[in-house]
Amino acid sequence: MLRNGRSAAGFTLIELLIVLIIIVVITGLVAQNFTGRDQAAMRQAVQADFNTIENALQMYRLENSHYPSTEQGLDALMNEPSGSPAPRNWRGPYLRSAPRDPWGNDYDYVNHGNNRIEIISYGADGQPGGEGDDADLSSLDDDDR
């Protein structure tokens, strides 16, 4: 009870600081673990969207003998496009609505010619370029599939 004239009730400041540091470290590790899984799930959702859009583009191509131009864009999958190249046998819509990436941004579409197309998500920031969560994802990136 009494030791050297002091009472032994409560924790010392050092004990409290050590407990606080342990709590902060554990919280950081748990948050980091959940954040990584969240981003992995978003990237998987983007890949699933790429597959859906590519399937719709394949149907468009089968019926019209070409992919939509870059200018016609993904809107050509929902509304009969005007301009060149004109669709020969448009039987859409090939998609019910324009898909948005998990961050709420529109996908970009590029027709590179020679039946080579690309669908792009610009990541969390919705802008070209970036790293980490803001990195661009492309349907041409084979290592993501």
Q: 111 lies in a domain?
A: yes
CATH classification at residue 53: 3.30.700.10
Q: Is residue 24 part of a domain?
A: no
Picking from 3, 125, 100, 126, the residue whose alpha carbon sits closest to that of residue 46 is 100
Structural domain contains residue 26: no
Specify the DSSP class assigned to residue 51: H
Report the number of distinct structural domains present in the chain: 1
Q: By residue range, what is the domain housing residue 69?
A: 40-138
Residue 12 lies in a domain: no
Residue position matching structure tokens 């929902």:
78
Entry pTM: 0.71
The 10s digit of each residue's pLDDT in 65-106 is 999 999 999 999 999 999 899 999 999 899 999 889 999 999
